Each structure stands twice: as C-alpha cells, then as structure tokens.
Amino acid sequence: MIRQEATALFELADELNEEFDAAVQTLLATERRVVVTGMGKSGHIGRKISATLAATGTPSFFVHPAEAAHGDLGMLVRGDSLIALSNSGSTPELRSIIAHARNLDIPVISVVSRADSPLARGSDVVLGLPAAEEACPVRIAPTTSTTMMLALGDALAIATMRIRGITRDDLALLHPGGSIGKRLTPVDQLLRSTDPLPLVSPDSRMRDVVLEMTSIGKGVAGVIDEFGHLVGIITDGDLRRGFERIMIAKASDMMTRSPVTIASGTMVEDAYVLLNEAKITVAFVMDADDPHRPIGLIHLHDLALDV
C-alpha cells in the first residue's frame, strides 16, 4: 500500500503544471483568509491543509460544506479564497458553498481527479490528481487519493510560505508551545537572572576557582578580565587533566582560551546542535550588545530537546 501511494505521489509531482503556479498566486493575493472545505475523508485532509497553511503564515480555517449550507456560509466574505477538495468532483454537499463563493467573487481552487466534473467546471484554478487507483483492496476507501491531496496541500503551503519570505523567527511566533516552541525559543528565556555566574579573575588561585565552581554546581568557571570580558574557561575536565598543578597554578595557567560560547538570541535548537558538535555540555551565553561579556550559563540538560 505504501509503495502504491508513493508511486502516485511521484506521478502527482510529474504532472504539476501552471495551474499549481496559479493556485500559489491566488493564495498570495488573498486579502483575508484561505477557506478550505471538503466532505468525508477529503474534509479530514482539508482540516490538515488549513492547519498547515495557518502554521506557515497564511491565515486559514476549515468550513464543513454541509454545515455551510445550514448557516455557516456567513464565514466566507469578500477577500477570501476557497480551496475545495473532492476526488470525484461531484460531491453534492459542495454545491452551496461553491455557489456562494461565486456570488461573492471569491476565487475557487479545486483539487479533483476529474477535469470534467461539476467542481472543476466551477473553479478558477483546477489542481488535477493523477488517475491512480485507491490502495484499498476493493478500490473504494479513500487512500491513494487522500494521500495525494495531503501532499498537494503541503506543497501549496510551503511554496506560499517561501514566496512570502516567512522565516524561522516568524514561525516561532506561531509555535510558542510544545516541542517546536521549545526548539524555537531563544536561550535567553532559559536563563534565570537571579542565578550568579561562576566567574574568577586570571590571577585567582585554583583553590578559589574550585570553590567557585562547586558553589554554582555547573562544573565550570569563567575567567574574566578587568573589563568583565570572558577570556577563558575552566571545566571539571581541566581540573582532572591538571590535577598535579592545582596547588600552585592560577586560573590563567589552566584555563582554555577562546572558549565556545553562545550568542544571546540563539535559538535553543541551534544551541543544542552547537554544544553537541563541540562535544561540550555547558557554555556561557554572551551579551548581544557586548559579545565578550557573559550574561548566563547554559547546560545541555537545560535544553532538553526531543530531536
């Protein structure tokens, strides 16, 4: 079944033409919202397409076609555009909402498999699905057709997103919750201003450095100069490697110069990648206005990403 549906997706990709371009331009020109409708399994796919559009910078919502005929047609207003999904293109419940859209001069984009269907004839843009059999053993249950609809909706949403120039920062505003929200959160928001930083001077005795590291419990101490600029870092690993010098050394003797740091404003996802690639577990976060001044400390466990 999966291979059969995958074959249909390749056929769909090969058959995309200027109608797809016209559909994207219609979405871009929409002044208000993109309304999506469909009945049955097409309706379930329509809900997902609408959600993906909204999540990628194109305001959208789903209207059930049967409910529309019982008063919900008022959800459509001039300035909207309409995407209607129906494999056969003959779904009777779509007639009212299509007619209402035409009366309001709302452009209609249809996703159908039959170009001679009523829905296709009543549309401004027709996105045709290849004539692929359903993967259902008796060729009835919507399977292949709905998979193609879903992929086509994703393609429309992402193409529109790219042309709009939607950035990851823009998406962060739309995804404040869950795993996505955590990944797109600036590391600054994980810092607690009340937490003291483990900082020492280059001339500090290693005994004092160890006490400072222990008091904070992060297994690290930053070495700062007289201007408060980070010039080095000392970790638990440095202590183990230079154990024989601890009693006589100063911080400047054992510190790692030019340590890996994280700029203020860096997203959690990027910080997570940076720490892993550098094979370290902790790093200082630096002031965006003064890149040499540490303002916080972030540990790999603080990021706690499910990636």
Q: Indicate whether 199 and 136 sit together in one domain.
A: no
21 and 96 part of one domain: yes
Per the DSSP assignment, residues forming a β-bridge with 261 are: 284
Mean pLDDT rounded to a whole number for the chain: 89
Domain of residue 73 covers 2-166
Is residue 7 domain-resident? yes
pLDDT of residue 307: 45
Residue 174 forms part of a structural domain: no
**177 inside domain:** no
Same domain? For 161 and 19 the reply is yes
Whether residue 132 is contained in a domain is answered as: yes
Report the percent of the chain where pLDDT is more than 70: 96
Residue 179: the pLDDT is 66
Looking at the predicted structure, is the pLDDT value of residue 216 above 80? no
Residue 171: inside a domain, yes or no?
Answer: no
Clarify whether residues 103 and 209 are in a common domain: no
Q: Assign residue 49 the CATH number of its domain.
A: 3.40.50.10490
- 100-127: average pLDDT: 94
Rounded to two decimals, the pTM is 0.72
In a domain, 156, yes or no: yes
Last residue of a domain, one of 166, 196, 212: 166
Report how far residue 5's alpha carbon sits from residue 300's, in angstroms, rounded to the nearest whole number: 41
* Shared domain check, 84 and 226: no
Distance between CA atoms of residues 71 and 44, nearest Å: 21
Residue 233 tokens read as 């870092």
160 and 210 together in one domain: no
* Listed residues 166, 201, 236: the one ending a domain: 166
Do 226 and 82 fall within a single domain?
Answer: no
Total count of domains within the chain:
2
Q: Are residues 200 and 154 part of one domain?
A: no
At which of 108, 135, 166 does a domain end? 166
Residue 51's SS3 state is helix
Tell me what pLDDT residue 119 has.
Answer: 94
**Residue 176 maps to a domain:** no
E-strand stretches of the chain: 34-38, 60-62, 81-85, 108-112, 125-128, 199-200, 220-224, 230-235, 256-257, 261-263, 282-286, 294-299
Q: Are residues 59 and 208 in the same domain?
A: no
Question: How does strand 220-224 pair with strand 199-200?
Answer: parallel
**280 occurs within a structural domain:** yes
Compute the average pLDDT of residues 273-281: 88
pLDDT at 117 over 80: yes
Question: pLDDT higher for 216 or 24?
Answer: 24
